[in-house]
Amino acid sequence: MVKESPFHAHALNVTGFLGGITFAAMILIIESKDKFVFSPPESLMPLIESIPMKLNYAEQLINLAAISSVLFIVSTVGLIRLAAGEKDTKDKYSRFMEYLASAGFIVLIMILLPALVLPFSLIGAIVVFIIGIIMLFGYSKYV
């Protein structure tokens, strides 16, 4: 048995919270699916019409929230063994769980949040994306 990791105990709380929040956001998007209408600017219409498979905007948001939620929840389940001290923090298992949490964070901050802001403001979505990049490079030890 290895020593308990306080870092993984905090990461367990954070990933559990973010997984629950993104799951709740997915449920809210599913419930208000008919109200999500995104009309792109006229300058982007030729580009959008050339895409062969069009998905509904609400369905794309639901998929993004589901991906982020699953990544967070799976990493939460894996981090339980690390926080309890059953696994060593240097092995492949712990690194994989940390990578899952990082991937969930990237999907949430850099893809889902700008996509949620996009129908209201294109500039706002760009600002949220830039903030996501700053957070990724400023706080991540994996990049």
The structure's pTM equals 0.76
Asked whether residue 49 is assigned to any structural domain, the reply reads yes
Number of other residues whose CB lies within 10 A of the CB of residue 29? 23
Alpha helices per DSSP H over the chain:
6-31, 45-49, 57-84, 92-106, 113-117, 122-139
Residue 85 zone, left/alpha/beta (φ > 0; ψ -120 to 50; rest): left
Asked whether residue 137 is assigned to any structural domain, the reply reads no
pLDDT at res. 143: 42
Question: 10 or 67, which is more confident?
Answer: 67
Helices and strands (DSSP H and E) totals, the chain: 6, 0
Asked whether residue 122 is assigned to any structural domain, the reply reads no
Asked whether residue 132 is assigned to any structural domain, the reply reads no
Asked whether residue 52 is assigned to any structural domain, the reply reads yes
Could you give the percent of the chain with pLDDT greater than 90?
A: 10
Asked whether residue 138 is assigned to any structural domain, the reply reads no
Total of domains in the chain: 1
pLDDT at residue 84 tops 60: yes
Residue 88 domain boundaries: 6-104
pLDDT at residue 31 tops 70: yes
pLDDT at residue 97 tops 50: yes
pLDDT at res. 137: 81
pLDDT at res. 139: 66
pLDDT at res. 40: 67
Asked whether residue 120 is assigned to any structural domain, the reply reads no
- Interval 76-97 mean pLDDT: 76
pLDDT tens-digit map of 101-136? 888 888 888 888 898 888 788 899 899 999 988 888
Asked whether residue 111 is assigned to any structural domain, the reply reads no
